[in-house]
Every structure is written in C-alpha cells, then in structure tokens.
Amino acid sequence: MPTKTMTEPMTAVACCAAFYEQDWVQPVLGESFHPGGTDLSARLVRELHLPPKSRVLDVACGIGTTARLMADEYGLDVVGLDASAANVAKAENVVGASAAITATFVTGDAAALPFPDDSFDAVVCECAVSTFADQARVVAEFARVLKPGGVVGISDMVIEGELPRTSPG
C-alpha cells in the first residue's frame, strides 16, 4: 500500500491521528492529548449527570484515556471510537490488562458512525469536532446514535475573532 508523502493533502483528522500514533507522543504529552487533560474530561462527564451503566460513545477517543476514566470512575458502559487503528489497539491493550475496566474500542469514521440509531445515552467528543471536515454531518451522526433524551458533551478549542491571515509560500 502506498504511503502518504508530505506533498499530498491530509485531512485534519488524518493528520491528528497520524500524529497521536507516534510512539514518542504519549511520553511527551502524557495520557490525555487535549488541553485541560483528565481534569477537564472528568468535569465534562460530571456535567452530563449520567447514572451508572449509561451507554456512552467517546468519539475520537485516541488511546482511550477518557473512555477508561468514564468506565472506571463513573461506572459507565463506554465504547470508544477513533479513526486510528493504532490508537484503538493501544486503548485495547490497556483495557485488556485491567479486568475492572469495561470499555470497548472500535476503529471508525465520526461522519459515518458504525452503530444503529438510538444506541447511546450520551456522546462525548473532546478536542476533535474542530478537526472534522464536515462538522454538521458529524453532529448529525451524534444525534442519530443518541437515544431519545440523550446528551452530548463536547469540549474543543475555539478562536475568537478572525483567523489570522497567512501569506502564500
């Protein structure tokens, strides 16, 4: 299979996935690859007010840090989804080493979630919606897989004002 070269365009999602797959990233950035770390993740989960055993989809789960936190500390039934098969494998390896954590992981596309309608009580997505090319489609997928009355928790980075101008070249 041909590999991408630096001259080929890469989507933001593919770029982020390729970056986070690198073996040196976790030792440098730690377990959580987003601003606010696990403290922000825990705050987001608490704000959802989910009862134990609620079924939660963690979109763009990376190596599964938030999914594990939700399963271990909040007793939630979590499915983590990431575009990177390598990150999903890392998440599965950690969970496989701990019988106490009840999270599962799948490789998939946030714009075409591989789950039936009305599958989850909540969807969580941290620091990733901004990377999706078709954000409206992704959010529509969140709504599709949510059960009636389900909730969505999103944390992301935003910029206030206009984007800075870049010069060509």
pLDDT of residue 157: 72
Domain tally for the chain?
1
Strand partners, 55: 77
pLDDT of residue 102: 78
- Tens digit of each residue's pLDDT (9 = 90 or more) over 125-150: 998 898 898 999 999 999 999 999 99
Higher-confidence residue: 29 or 5? 29
Look at residue 140 and tell me if it is in a domain: yes
What percent of the chain has pLDDT above 70?
Answer: 72
**Are the C-beta atoms of residues 79 and 55 closer than 8 Å to each other?**
yes
Look at residue 132 and tell me if it is in a domain: yes
pLDDT confidence tier of residue 84, bands split at 50, 70 and 90: very high
- Tens digit of each residue's pLDDT (9 = 90 or more) over 117-126: 999 999 999 9
Phi, psi of 8 (to 5 degrees): -80, 140
pLDDT of residue 31: 57
Look at residue 43 and tell me if it is in a domain: yes
Look at residue 9 and tell me if it is in a domain: no
Look at residue 69 and tell me if it is in a domain: yes
- Residue with the two structure tokens 């992704």: 138
Q: Does residue 4 register a pLDDT over 50?
A: no
| Residue numbers of the domain that contains 88 | 31-155
Report which DSSP code applies to 109: B
pLDDT of residue 24: 45
Q: What is the CATH number of the domain that holds 123?
A: 3.40.50.150
**Are the C-beta atoms of residues 129 and 135 closer than 8 Å to each other?**
yes
Look at residue 63 and tell me if it is in a domain: yes
CB-count exposure of residue 55 (10 Å: 0-12, 13-18, 19+): middle
Look at residue 129 and tell me if it is in a domain: yes
Look at residue 145 and tell me if it is in a domain: yes
